[in-house]
Structure formats: structure tokens, C-alpha cells
Amino acid sequence: MFDTSVLSLWPQIVSGGLVVGFLVGMTGVGAGSLMTPFLITKVGISPAIAVGTDLLFAAITKASAVAPHHTFGHVNWRIVRWLAAGSVPGSLAMLALIKILEPDLATMAAVIKTGLSAALILSSFALLIYPFMKRASFQDAPDKADETAARPFPTMLLGFLLGSVVTLTSVGAGAIGVVVLTLLYPALRPRYLIGTDIVHAVPLTLVSGLGHLGMGNADFALLGLLLLGSLPGIALGSRLTGILPDWLLRSALAAILVFAAYQLHAKG
């Protein structure tokens, strides 16, 4: 789908992508949590198109981080495989449910907004509690990511739930995924948790995004404008990571997510 009408909105889409990319570059989370609410509430994109386009956006941007994380040994590939074994079927199941139910646009928009608001609140809570969980979890952590054994069933279950939520709302693969992985793998060091979570998000968002694209719920013109603004923003934010205290960044991002949830509810 290529809607040329969004080209007239290029200044606010590109600038919004720049701001979101900057925040993602500084904090490592927030792409889906911030981009989809921005597209719905500030640009006026329909919820279904916003979710589908943002999933493809996430797949592209996260894919660029796979090679560095793998090179630095930050990925537990066994955990990635078990997560994907649950999340890909979870995504396909949610896509099938949407297709079978064939909700009208108003109903689908209402469902997505409700699910998105809930996912934003959970993400903000996850951002705030993660540092406390992190400090208490890795005192005797292995030195290498792959030294931690996978827990197949609970990891697949987490993947299935994430796949369903992410496919419906485009939110959850980042902050929520890392927090739950911390509960499942308390001995895994934070950089390994983040690397594993980012790599797993690539097949999940790609499958979900292509599924939405197949149903007409994605816009390539919008995707191009988002990438045009966000890629420089991510690069700039990454360079500034560490200048501001981590607690301040996470608190500010959590507040932004709660505000985004409020705006979605107010505009519903």
C-alpha cells in the first residue's frame, strides 16, 4: 500500500520520527511504544495502518542491530530460538483471528486503542522496575551469553504472549520482553538480555508486519518518511547515551508512555 496523501504530512512525520528515534537511541526501548501512539494521535493515521507500518519499521531498525550484538557476543541464540518458536505462532494466531473475525474499521480501531493503552501502561511500569531487578539479578552471572541454559516451555509461553500482543498493538517486544526475560533468566547479564531481546524482535516484527501488509494494514510512503527521520535520530541518541543519568531517562520515558496512553484514551 502506498498512500501519497501522507506525503503532505512529511514535516511532522519526519520530525516525529527524529524525536522517537533519538529517544530510542538513548534508552534502547520505546520504538513501538512511542511511534504507534504518535502516528495515531498526532498524525491522524488509522490504528490498523499505524500498527502495521510500525511493525515493518521495527523489523528494519532492529535488524540493523543484530550484527553488532552477535559480534560482541550479546545474544543467547538458544533463548532466541525458543522465544521465536512461541512468538511466531502467537503472531500468526493473532493475524488469523483478525482475519477470521473481519472486524469493521471502527471496531478494530477501538480494540487496538484499548490494547495499545494497556500495553503502554505495562511498558512504563516495566521501565521503572527493570533497573531494580537488574541490580539484584546478575551477581553470579555467566561471562558469556550462551552459557545460560534455556528454559523451553516458559520461554515459548512468553514468546506466544508477546507475539499476540505485539501483533495487535506493535508494543511489548522491548520493555515488557526484557523484564519478563529477567524473571525467567535472572543470571543473564543486562547486555545479554537486551541483545537477545532485540534479535528475537526481528523475526517477530517481520512476520507480524508482513501479515498486516498482506491485509492492507501498512503504508510504504509512511514507512519511508519514518525511516528518513528516525535513523539519524537513533544514531544521534546512541552517541549521547550515558550523558544523562539512566534513572532520569527511564523515568522520563515512562511518563511519556503514560501520557501517550492517556491521549489515546482521550481521543477514543
Q: What is the pLDDT of residues 63-76, one digit of tens each?
A: 877 888 788 888 89
pLDDT for 163 equals: 92
pLDDT at 171: 80
Tell which wins on pLDDT, 160 or 150: 160
| Res. 137: pLDDT tops 60 | no
Confidence of residue 242 (pLDDT cuts 50, 70, 90): low
Residue 26: all three cell numbers together:
538513548
Predicted confidence (pLDDT) per residue in 195-237, tens digit: 888 889 899 999 999 999 999 999 999 999 999 998 888 878 7
Predicted TM-score of the model (pTM): 0.83
Q: Give the pLDDT confidence of 112-122 residue by residue, as tens digits.
A: 888 878 887 88
pLDDT at 268: 54
Q: Which residue has the higher pLDDT, 5 or 10?
A: 10
Residue 161: phi, psi to the nearest 5? -65, -45
For cell 537477545, what's the residue? 196
pLDDT band, very low/low/confident/very high, at 134 (cuts 50, 70, 90): low
Higher confidence at residue 216 or residue 25? 216
Is residue 94 scored above 90 in pLDDT?
yes
Residue 147 in this model has a pLDDT that exceeds 70: no
The whole-number pLDDT of residue 223 equals 93
The pLDDT score that the predictor gives to residue 22 is 82
